[in-house]
Amino acid sequence: MTALLRPVAALGATEFRIALRNRWVTITVALMALFALVLSAAGSAPTGDVGVDALSVTVASLTSLGVYLVPLMALLMAFDAVAGEVERGTLSLTLTYPVSRSGILLGKFAAHLAVLTIAVGVGYGLAAITALATDPEAVTGLPALLRLFWSSILLGAVFLALGYALSSIARRPGTAAGLAIGVWLALVVLYDLGLLAAVVADGGGVFTSRALPWLLLANPADAFRLYNLAASEATAAASGLGGAAQTIPAAHALISVLLWPLAAFGLAAAALRRVTP
Amino acid sequence: MMNSLTLSHVTKRYDGVTALDAVGFTVAPGERVALLGHNGAGKSTLMKIILGLIPATSGQIEVLGAAPGSPSAREGTAYLPENVAFHPALTGLEQIRLYLRLRGCDPAQAMDLLSRVGLDDAARRRIGTYSKGMRQRVGLAQALIGQPRLLILDEPTSGLDPVSRREFYAILDSLAAEGAAILLSSHALTEVEARTDRIVILSQGRLMANDSLSALRRRAALPIRLQVSARPGAADRVAAQLSGGRRNGVMVDLTCAHDEKLTRLGDIAAIQDLIDDVEIIPPSLEDLYSHFSRRDDQ
């Protein structure tokens, strides 16, 4: 292993062990499994009416769930990453070892992303099994589920990195936790409410036709939702949002989904660079 | 011989406040130097500058012949931060294995390092269950990784009981004997007294003294105390003869300058029939420390 990756691997393995001990792995896996099973059970009922397979219905529900749950889990895992190390005095110690700051960040990122991948994989996997067991047509929904899976990981990556940035700025775990909840509320809940209010006030004017699509793409959570709904007709139909999703091409949403993790990680690295240990 | 650490005119200013003002001293291989100063005197700031964690505003720093924080300086330098607390969910063994991997050493050495600091029994317990002294030993164990050539130890013995302190200094002695340079800060002056080769005193960011203990004693020229125990009933006469102050029924206290010591002892010897015992008490490190750290205020 190269000298650059060795410390990243060591830090990542340690961070994953901490996540296991802190029950983060258990909590996130249980949470995702529970919600996925509940949604699958609820989704298997109205299949006949919409005319799409059971899995596409479930994917539509999982998209709405994932957009709330994945960012929340990511932020909760990430907020302590830098602030906790500053408080314990271990950040200054680790920085005297032959490790770079971005190496430290990368190690934590790899471990937390692995935890999220396991949780999302278990949850979505259970949903697929349930759908396939009740509806043989569900196979047609598998590509949509796979798309949902990797885009959920990317969404998680964005909010992990945002969590590290907040953790570096706050420098105290308590403050970082508060900021993390604030960012979750702002980007996942309030942002959409704000846009909705603006659309209503605008009454179908310039804002709705020109600014709204870009504002939706600018938010990683909205881009994630748009991409998953726009990329599959069956999912869009099942969600009942076909019209809204089609105004923005899936390719645009995909670009936002792919660029956000890089931008957020860059932000986190810049924020950590400014921390005086 | 090249110095392990060379500081000259190191100055650090934080928004208008001068934390360090033209500090300069060296630490040679095998030398143990104690950095003394009040809280806020600039000890931790100076250590962080040496480690390359924060930049100096001006001045030259050379760590093992390289710039502070450079790969080769980090390679040979070990650090123990003040009041370090490791992640409570990890065991001591896991924590040391991580630090070994970060240095590119074999993680299998972890148990040896932990037993060297007396933590073998607790190695597989989570750090969350450790006492402060045990966490401090984990910190010391990581500082021993890979035979460092320079050790920077910030309050290394805080939280350690007297026996552990003794063991800790024994470890430092063996490291210094192998040629490691050691810079440690401490509040416990009496333990530094016997265990370091040189003393550097910082006060309000300025270097007030940098010398061996005996040289500092000579320079400070603080009075020496002679404690004379008189024979029963003779205390008043002894006090009168020696023009000293009587403390209680038998003890007479005298003070004298360094160069008067022998004359005074001669005076005492002249009336030895009245005297039971004499104790010579040189100025303590506390006295020296307050002398040198206060000199500036006058």
> Residues A79-92: what's their mean pLDDT?
93
Q: Is B105 on the interface with A (CB under 8 A)?
A: no
Q: Which of B77, B86, B126 sits opposite A96 (nearest CB)?
A: B77
Nearest by CB to A98, from B51, B74, B142: name it. Answer: B74
Beta carbons of B98 and A14 less than 8 Å apart:
yes
> Of A92, A91, A72, A73, nearest to A82 (Cα)?
A91
Q: Which residue of A lies nearest to B152 if distances are taken between CA atoms?
A: A96
The Cα A74–Cα A180 span in angstroms is 10
B91/A contact by beta carbon, under 8 A: no
Mutation target vs B (from A92, A94, A106, A275; most B CBs, 10 A cutoff): A92
Inter-chain touch B84–A7, beta carbons under 8 Å: no
Q: Which amino acid is at B96?
A: I
- Between A45-59, A211-225, B89-103, B194-208, the lowest mean confidence (pLDDT) is in A45-59
Partners of B89 on chain A (C-beta within 8 Å) are 17-18, 21-22
Flag if A89 and B82 touch (Cβ within 8 Å): yes
Searching chain A, which residue's CA lies closest to the CA of residue B138? A90
pLDDT of residue B298: 43
CA neighbor of A176 nearest in space, from B82, A69, A184, A235: A184
* ipTM for the complex shown: 0.87
Which pLDDT belongs to residue B249?
Answer: 76
Can you state the angle between helices A101-134 and A142-170, rounded to 10 degrees?
Answer: 150
User: Above 80 in pLDDT, residue A231?
Assistant: no
Tell me the per-residue pLDDT of A64-78, one tens digit each, with 9 for 90 and over: 889 999 999 999 999
Task: Give yes or no for residue A53 having a pLDDT over 70.
Answer: yes
Which residues of chain A have a CB within 8 Å of the CB of B52? Answer: 96
Structure tokens at B200: 């550097």
**A21 contact residues in B (CB cutoff 8 A):** 89-90, 126
Q: Report helix, strand or coil for B245.
A: strand
Min Cα distance A16 → chain B (Å) is 11
Burial class (CB within 10 angstroms; exposed 0-12, middle 13-18, buried 19+) of B16:
exposed
Cβ of B90 and A93 within 8 Å?
no
Q: Using a CB–CB cutoff of 8 Å, tell me whether B283 touches chain A.
A: no
Per CB-CB distance under 8 Å, the chain A contacts of B136 are none
State whether B81 and A92 contact (CB < 8 Å). yes
CA distance B210 to chain A (A): 26
Chain B residue numbers with beta carbons less than 8 Å from the beta carbon of A14 are 90, 94, 98
Select from B52, B90, B142 the Cβ nearest to the Cβ of A18: B90
* Record: contact A21-B103, CB cut-off 8 A: no
User: Does the CA dihedral A17-A20-A24-A29 come out positive or negative?
Assistant: positive
Q: Which residues of A touch B94 (CB under 8 A)?
A: 14, 17
Question: Searching chain B, which residue's CA lies closest to the CA of residue A22?
Answer: B89
CB–CB contact A89 B53 (8 Å): no
pLDDT at B189: 76
pLDDT at A212: 85
CA distances from B139 to A140, A250, B99, B188 (A): 57, 53, 10, 19
Please indicate if any CB of chain A lies within 8 Å of the CB of B89.
yes
Distance CA A57, CA A149 (A): 15
Q: Give the pLDDT band of residue A261 (cuts 50, 70, 90).
A: very high
Question: A243 or B45: which carries more pLDDT confidence?
Answer: B45
Q: Half-sphere exposure of residue B221, counting CA atoms within 13 Å on the CB side?
A: 4
Q: Is B103 on the interface with A (CB under 8 A)?
A: yes
Q: What is the pLDDT along chain B (298 residues), one digit of tens a residue?
A: 589 999 999 999 988 899 999 999 999 999 999 999 888 889 999 999 999 999 999 999 999 999 999 999 999 999 999 888 899 999 999 999 999 999 999 999 999 999 999 999 999 999 999 998 899 999 999 999 999 999 999 999 888 888 888 889 999 999 999 999 999 998 777 778 778 899 999 988 999 999 988 888 888 888 888 888 888 888 888 888 887 777 777 888 888 887 888 888 888 888 888 888 999 888 888 888 888 887 554 4
What residues of chain A lie within 8 A of the CB of B53, using their CB?
92, 95-96, 276-277
Asked if the Cβ–Cβ distance from A17 to B94 is below 8 Å, we say yes
Contact A18 B83 (CB under 8 A): no
Res. A242: pLDDT tops 80: no
- The beta-carbon neighbor of B104 closest among A6, A84, A276 is A6
Residue A164 to residue A81: CA distance in whole angstroms:
6
- β-bridge pairing B181-185 and B150-154: parallel
The tokens of B235 are what?
A: 């205390």
- The two tokens of residue A139 are 């196979």
Q: What is the pLDDT at residue A237?
A: 65
Is the pLDDT reported for residue A20 higher than 90?
A: yes
